[in-house]
Amino acid sequence: MKKGMVITIDGPAGAGKSTVSKLLASRLSFVCLDTGALYRAAAYQLKREGWNGAIEDIADPGRALKVSLKHDEGRVRVMVDGEEVSEKIRTEEIGLLASRISAVPKIREKLLPVQREMAEFGGVVAEGRDMGTVVFPDADVKFFLDASAEERAKRRYMEMTAKGEQVNRTDIKNDLLLRDRQDRERPIAPLVIPAGAVVVDSSNLSIPQVIDFMISVIERACPLR
Ligand code: DC
């Protein structure tokens, strides 16, 4: 397998992209690029600066975004203006805000070079909503990871209750459906199946099954040379 490969995984919220991309990257000794974390960090920054969540109230959507991902001994730290926010951005509220601001063209423009720079030398599994379409259209292998809304809501619910959060399953499903709609219907870089992507429906697959399947696709596309 060539070292400088770029592998993309796109898909809706809760399909398992984060878990799968981390494990896949580790199996390949690649770096995992979680681009949703950048949009979440941007939402966190705007909120901290007093933004009330309404798109029309982002006075200057082109204002400096101070977000970055820092690779640190196998861990990726999500940073906003020098502060680590890796855990703080993992809330439903920030997820929904991230989805809203991700429809603002200026925000996407600002985050595009940050993402490309991090994959400059390849050896990357990049996950998000527009990886195979906009950010890395020439990726070596593209996946679209999906699962039914019911299954995605169930997984998200279990993940959050395991963290000790008090959440309601219906609210979680409604948030996911709202985020799906926002991410799929926005005019700029909407969530779609990229041309040439292999669609993986993980509704009835375990994580190891998904990883093994992906590895087999990658080996077929880019055999050892
Ligand atoms: O993957 P996630 O749930 O952490 O992403 C949060 C939001 O960020 C998602 O709802 C839409 C946006 N996003 C995006 O527009 N493009 C990406 N490549 C990644 C995330």
pLDDT in tens, 159-178: 889 989 888 999 999 999 99
Tell me which of 63 and 86 has the higher pLDDT.
86
Distance 186 CA to ligand 1 centre (A): 12
CA atoms of 29 and 184, how far apart (whole Å): 32
Question: What is the CATH architecture of 6-210?
Answer: 3-Layer(aba) Sandwich (3.40)
Distance 100 CA to ligand 1 centre (A): 9
Lining residues, ligand 1, CB within 6 Å = 13, 35-36, 39-40, 95, 98-99, 102, 128-130, 179, 183
Answer yes or no: are the C-beta atoms of 18 and 127 closer than 8 Å. yes
Point out which residues pair with 70 in neighbouring strands.
Answer: 77
122 pLDDT more than 60: yes
Comparing CA positions, the residue from 138, 146, 148, 111 lying closest to residue 33 is: 111
Residues shown for the chain: 225
Ligand 1 atom 18, closest CA: 128
Residue 132, H or E segment? none
Phi and psi at residue 185, in whole multiples of 5°?
A: -100, -5
Answer yes or no: are the C-beta atoms of 40 and 78 closer than 8 Å. yes
Write down the mean pLDDT value for the chain. 91
Distance 208 CA to ligand 1 centre (A): 24
197 pLDDT more than 90: yes
